[in-house]
Structure formats: C-alpha cells, structure tokens
Amino acid sequence: MELREKVAAILAEAAELPVEAVLAAPDVDSLGLDSLSLSDVLFELEKAFQVEISDEEAGQLHTLLDFEALLQRKLAEAAAEEGSI
C-alpha cells in the first residue's frame, strides 16, 4: 500500500467515509473531522509511520498532499539519521 493510500485509510476511518471519498476530497476540512478526530488521526499517523508530528507541522496540514509531503520528509529524515549511525 502506498503512502497516500495509508494516510487516506487512516483519515477515512476517522471520518467514517470510504477511502475513495478521502482521495477525492479537496481538503481535510471537507471531511467533517473535529479537532479531537484530527488529533486521533495525527496519533495514528505517528504510530503507523514511527514519526513525531509537531503542533506547528499539524497546523500546516490541509490536504492529503500536505499529509503525504510531511510524512515523506519525516521518513526521509529518519532514514538519513539511521544511515549516519
């Protein structure tokens, strides 16, 4: 499963929507998630990808592409850190 699909699946579960609806959504706000649900999403993403997402970073996540780009960056940073050990 690709990164985008994993993120979409986590968002879909939180929003109680099909993954296809999340993939087609123009932004995360249109999914109808409240702040508690978004916190749960962030927790699940941190757990699934073994990364930490700061409050500042979380505030910049508005689209599925934003989530995907942040996670790609975090995973690349983690891989670079592992390679330097």
C-alpha atoms less than 13 angstroms from C-alpha of 18 in its C-beta half-sphere: 3
Mean pLDDT of the region 60-83:
94
How many domains is the chain partitioned into structurally?
1
Going from the C-alpha of 10 to that of each of 15, 23, 77, 80, the distances in angstroms are 9, 11, 22, 26
pTM of the model: 0.90
Residues 13-70: tens digit of each pLDDT = 999 999 999 999 999 999 999 999 999 999 999 999 999 999 999 999 999 999 999 9
Phi/psi at 24 (nearest 5 deg)? Answer: -90, -10
Is the pLDDT reported for residue 1 higher than 80?
Answer: no
Q: Which domain holds residue 10?
A: 3-83
> What is the CATH classification number for the domain harbouring 38?
1.10.1200.10
Q: Give the count of alpha carbons within 13 A of 30, CB side only.
A: 9
Q: How confident is the model at residue 83 (pLDDT cuts 50, 70, 90)?
A: confident
Q: Based on DSSP, count helices (H) and strands (E) in the chain, helices before strands.
A: 5, 0
